[in-house]
Structure 1
Amino acid sequence: MKMLEEREAEMINIRRYLHENPELSFKEAKTAAYIADFYRGKDVDVSTGVGNGYGIVVTIKGEKPGKTVALRADFDALPIKEELEIPFKSKNEGIMHACGHDAHTAYLLVLADCLIQLKEQIHGTVKIIHQHAEEVPPGGAKSIVEAGALDGVDAIFGIHVLPMAPAGTVGYHSGYSFNGRAYFKLKVQASGGHGSSPHKANDAIVAGAYFVTAVQTIVSRRVNPLDAGVVTIGSFDGKGSFNVIKDSIEIEGDIRYSDDETRDVISKEIHRMVKGLEELFGVSCKLTYEPDYPPLYNDPELTAFVAKTLIKAGDKHIKEVKEFPKMAPSDDFAYYLEKVPGTYFYIGCTPKGVEEPYFNHHPKFDIDEAALLVAAKSVGYVVCDYLNIEKDGSND
């Protein structure tokens, strides 16, 4: 912890460099090279190009036997034009680290380096996963799992900076914590005609409009009211001439669900409604339905372990450890948690003096950089205590 405190300024400098030089998902070549270069010459195994992009896995083998724990930080940015006026503003027009992945990478690089220097004291192995492409499905996590990066791993931990609380606050949530999501596109093919003679045509817009209304009944009438589900129609492409009956339209939508059961209900009902639309309006439909990220499930036992560990630490920089609510966003960290138990917890980062901060993905999103040290120390405590379980049989 003293090593981390002494390197806080380095974390901040790394974060600012990454913030100035953001890269989009699956295009993070320079960021990946920067990360790989950080480990150059260090006594550690580094694998690059892991998964379907620029993933990097660093394996720190302790000098003593024990469990294997994995830590993950993502490093892609978003196609957002930054509106913050800061000295390290994005140099890449229309691209911004608006979700805090620059902070995730910065803290984990320094934490990993400290663990490398202390590897003779480590009981077990620590795998550092620097993940590309969290923001764009299919994402990087699933491919990293498929590449075998989690084979032999006993537990995985990760953090996300959130401006829901000030720096010094660590949040946790047990069980289903982030929603899963899916994407769909529906093409409705009918037969066009003249606006004066609707009886000689079959209007794709009317059929599509009916679908837009009907699909909203899935959540209100088919999903358990104690569970969360959202069906959003984000695009209705039916542009044409005012006096021409359209022969085809395309609809695109976003689906969110809190658990696997709700996912299955929404998928089943959308497919059923599409078949009904064909019968009701005499149209033909082509449905593309693609589940993206699964619901994120935090292992209750490991989540309780994280909370207990951080409370017990009594660290001056970790001022409050509390339960956060379940959240609607999605994160492909969920794929890791399908493979091995673990937990994804949260680091408060509300900028100082700000009462109503901009949330992640906003062009004015910002963080209190004090959150970097809080993240590094929090994950550091968790790793040390978790590997001590193998050594001592407990974390007391």
Structure 2
Amino acid sequence: MREKLMEKLHSRKDEMIEIRRYLHENPELSFKEEKTAKYIADFYKDKDVDIETNVGNGHGIIVTIHGGKPGKTFGLRADFDALPITEEADVPFKSKNEGVMHACGHDAHTAYLLILADCLIQLKDDIKGTIKIIHQHAEEVPPGGAKSIVETGKLDDLEAIFGIHVLPLGPAGTVGYHSGYSFNGRTYFKLIIKGKGGHGSSPDKANDSIVAGSYFVTAAQTIVSRRVNPMKAGVVTVGSFDGKGSFNVIKDSVEIEGDIRYSDKEVQDVIEKEFHRIVKGIEELFGVSCELTYKPDYPPLYNDPELTDFVAETLENADDKEIKKVEEFPKMAPSDDFAYYLEKIPGSYFYIACTPKGVEDPYFNHHPKFDIDEDAILVAAKAVGHVTCSYLEG
């Protein structure tokens, strides 16, 4: 089966690229991917599979491939939403939707998985088990699509789950992996500090929210530097401080928004505890009132060590000319809602290098000039294909 699958994938490389370019030209934002979801669902029409659409809190799709023989049940996932970015990449298949761009590679994720799934469908009589293909909406915008798909219970029978992300961390042909905590978790916060407005000449008759807010910004930075284990990672970022007013008027309120990242559950708990403690202290110290919105978005992404070792060993022994190098990648600072699958299902999320040919300093994901070496799409299909075959073989 492995040999047949790899031959089929190799012969359909151009089709993968064609699909990727179509999706790249027609990107849609999270929770608004109606046409993309229809394109995906139409791809599976008249194929011998079960198709479920509108899964979760949006346009999620689950395609179930029932193998011809009993065996394991596992899942493969790819996301398909785009970002609110105006494309600046100089490519002939540039986004047609102004202000929307596939700047994170989800077009490539979807392209490889569509063709891989179709090839697996053609070989379903040889499959020992069941494969659920998860085309996921809204990875980029919390609460995301993954959590809602998990909560439907439609994946409760999975014994494992696998996914990939394209990253410009090496030439096409390089596959990366990382065991354990691999992507940071993320929390959004908004803090409204309410004081008492007044004339700039009479601060004693007012209660300056800007002073209290400024103190908060400084104090919040001590959480990581003085409360988090220095061998672990945490970031508190204040991205917006809305205190605009008149030069001679003491503001009665300010609004502060930001982003918190953490490498694991322990750091997440420490930051949350200290964050609330500082807010209470601000109220007491400055005599202000605070309204805090503190919303964990995505948990830290934890790759099952045993299954990640399995992925690495499988690809190292694949003897595939497209997979030229398999190496351990460092932990990643971004977040991904694939973490929600891994909270419930053991699995591994690994990486497909995609630096464009001849580029020494590539634009990273989410940049308006982000682009990939399209050879990486076939690498992704083959890498996940090898993992699929090895997992089915036990």
Does residue 40 in structure 1 map to residue 65 in structure 2? no
Match of 2:34 among 19, 29, 42: 29
Task: Please give the alpha-carbon distance, in whole angstroms, between the structure 2 residues aligned to 1:265 and 1:363.
Answer: 35
- The equivalent position to 1:310 in structure 2, one of 315, 318, 342, is 315
Percent of aligned pairs with the same residue? 79
Is the CA contact (8 Å cut-off) linking 1:137 and 1:292 kept in structure 2? yes
In the alignment, what sits opposite 1:393? none
**One of 185, 188, 199 as aligned partner of 1:183:** 188
1:263 maps to a residue whose letter is: Q
Other-structure match for 2:292: 287
Superposed CA deviations along residues 317-354 of structure 1, whole A, max 9, x for unmatched, are 00000000011000000000001100000001000000
Task: Give the equivalent residue in structure 2 for 1:148.
Answer: 153
Q: CA deviation at 1:84?
A: 1.1
Instruction: Indicate which of 375, 389, 393 corresponds to 1:388.
Output: 393
C-alpha deviations, 1:37-95, integer Å up to 9, x for none?
A: 00000000000000000000000000100001100000000000000121100000010
What's the counterpart of residue 57 of structure 1? 62
* Structure 1 residues 189-242: Cα deviation after superposition (integer angstroms, max 9, x where no partner): 111000011000000000000000010000000000000000000000100000
**Counterpart contact for 1:150–1:339, Cα < 8 Å:** no
Distance 2:64 2:371 in 1: 31
**Cα offset, 1:12, TM superposition:** 0.2
Give the letter for the 1:311 counterpart: E
> Which stretch shows the higher mean deviation, 102-111 or 81-90?
81-90
- Residue 254 (str. 1) matches residue 259 (str. 2): yes
* Secondary structure of 2:223's aligned partner: helix
Which of 335, 341, 359 is equivalent to 1:336? 341
Of 273, 276, 298, 2:278 maps to 273
For 1:352 and 1:121, the matched residues in 2 are separated by 37
- Name the residue aligned to 1:77: 82
Q: CA deviation at 1:25?
A: 0.2
Q: Among 312, 324, 334, which residue is 1:319 paired with? A: 324
Equivalences for residues 73-222 of structure 1 within 5 A: 73-222=78-227
Total equivalences in the alignment: 389
Moved over 2 A (4+): none
Aligned AA (2:238)? I
Superposition CA RMSD, Å: 0.4
Per the TM alignment, residue 294 of structure 1 is displaced from its structure 2 partner at its CA by 0.2
Q: Kindly indicate whether residue 7 of structure 2 is the aligned counterpart of residue 7 of structure 1.
A: no
Amino acid of the residue matched to residue 284 of structure 1?
A: S
- Hey, what's the Cα distance between the residues in 2 that align with 1:151 and 1:244? 58
- TM (norm. structure 2) is 0.98
Are 1:299 and 2:293 counterparts? no
Native 8 Å contact 1:229 1:257 kept in 2: yes
- From 237, 241, 247, give the equivalent of 2:246: 241
Give the Å deviation of 1:148: 1.4
Q: What's the CA shift for 1:284?
A: 0.5
Structure 1: segments with no counterpart, 5+ residues: 390-396
The one-character-per-residue Cα deviations of 1:1-30 (angstroms, maximum 9, x if unpaired) are 000000000000000000000000000000
Note the C-alpha offset of 1:149: 2.5
Q: Give, in whole Å, the separation in 1 of the partners of 2:160 and 2:122.
A: 22
Which among 361, 364, 375 is matched to residue 370 of structure 1? Answer: 375
Correspondence for 2:354 among 349, 355, 360: 349
Query: Does residue 234 of structure 2 align to residue 229 of structure 1?
Result: yes
Q: Distance in 2 between matches of 1:149 and 1:307?
A: 28
Counterpart in the other structure of 2:3: none
CA distance in 2, matches of 1:250, 1:43: 54
CA distance, structure 2, for counterparts of residue 100 and residue 309 of structure 1: 24
Separation (CA, whole Å) in 2 of partners of 1:206 and 1:149: 51
